[in-house]
Every structure is written in structure tokens, then in C-alpha cells.
């Protein structure tokens, strides 16, 4: 199931992203929609080609290899129970996950450490600024607007 994800403006100037070809960048963004809330997805390069790069004349495995390469790969491939999977390192850090999205049903990668829970923000209830004119105070204390009658 594909999901709605966000792209932060600094994505386009990230050094690790700038090292990728334009097709690898596009595939990387597409994989975000494929990933579950933990950044995990099934390893399906042929499906990714048809889903995210259908009109592009490219070898999908060459594009995927770009995402797997380097000291800090964009995606990491792993196997579990005879099936292949991938995960996107740092995914929960960079995506705001919808609360209604179900928990991952895919196995975690080896040596996986869940990210720390996000900090809870204090809840506010709308705009709490004091109004400039308080009619109740005006009636009780009288007019104090410099008007001498």
C-alpha cells in the first residue's frame, strides 16, 4: 500500500542526495511511499521500476545499486525467513507518520534499534492572547481610554 510522505526542502541540497543520479533520487523518494511507518519495505526492484520509473529507459538494478552504495547508503537490504526486505535508515527521523498508520508487519533488520520516542509537545487550546478590549472589565472598572466625560 502506498502512503503519502513529505519531502523536506533540504533534501535537494543534501550532499548524500547530490551524489545520486536524478533517477536514483526519484526512486528514493518513491520508496518512501512504499515504506511502512518504520521505513521498512519488501525487496521488489521490478515492481519499483514499473511503479516509480515506468517511462524511464533504465536498468532498475543499476539505479538500486546507487541507493545501496556508500558508507551511508540510502537504503539497506536484508533478509529474514527466506524473504528479502529493505529499510531506509533515518526514515522515522525525517517523516511525520500519520497516527492512523498501522504498525509495521515486516521484520526488523538485524541490529535494529528503534528510534527514541518523539518529544511530546505541550497541548495548546487556540489563541490565548488577552483581548485588547475587555467589555466586562470596562463595565466594572469604567472607561479608562483617556476619555474624560
- Rounded to whole angstroms, the Cα distance separating 50 from 48 reads 6
- Rounded to whole angstroms, the Cα distance separating 54 from 23 reads 11
Give the residues of the chain that fall short of pLDDT 50.
Answer: 149
Supply the pLDDT for residue 127: 62
Supply the pLDDT for residue 104: 80
As a CATH number, domain 9-94 is: 1.10.10
Give bridge partners of residue 78 from the DSSP assignment.
85
Supply the pLDDT for residue 86: 96
| pLDDT, tens digit, 9 for 90 and up, residues 39-72 | 999 999 999 999 999 999 999 999 999 999 988 8
**Any idea where the domains of the chain sit in the sequence?**
9-94
Supply the pLDDT for residue 124: 64
Amino acid at each position: 500500500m502506498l502512503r503519502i510522505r513529505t519531502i523536506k526542502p533540504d533534501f535537494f541540497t543534501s550532499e548524500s542526495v547530490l551524489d545520486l543520479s536524478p533517477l536514483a533520487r526519484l526512486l528514493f523518494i518513491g520508496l518512501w511511499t512504499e515504506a511502512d511507518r518504520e521505513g521498512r519495505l519488501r525487496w521488489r526492484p521490478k515492481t519499483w521500476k514499473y511503479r516509480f520509473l515506468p517511462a524511464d529507459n533504465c536498468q532498475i538494478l543499476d539505479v538500486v545499486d546507487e541507493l545501496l552504495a556508500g558508507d551511508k547508503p540510502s537504503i539497506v537490504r536484508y533478509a529474514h525467513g527466506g524473504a528479502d526486505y529493505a529499510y531506509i535508515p533515518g526514515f522515522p527521523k525525517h517523516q511525520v507518520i500519520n497516527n492512523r498508520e498501522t504498525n509495521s508487519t515486516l521484520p526488523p533488520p538485524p541490529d535494529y534499534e528503534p528510534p527514541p520516542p518523539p518529544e511530546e509537545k505541550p497541548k495548546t487550546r487556540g489563541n490565548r492572547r488577552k483581548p485588547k478590549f475587555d467589555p466586562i472589565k470596562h463595565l466594572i472598572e469604567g472607561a479608562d481610554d483617556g476619555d474624560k466625560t
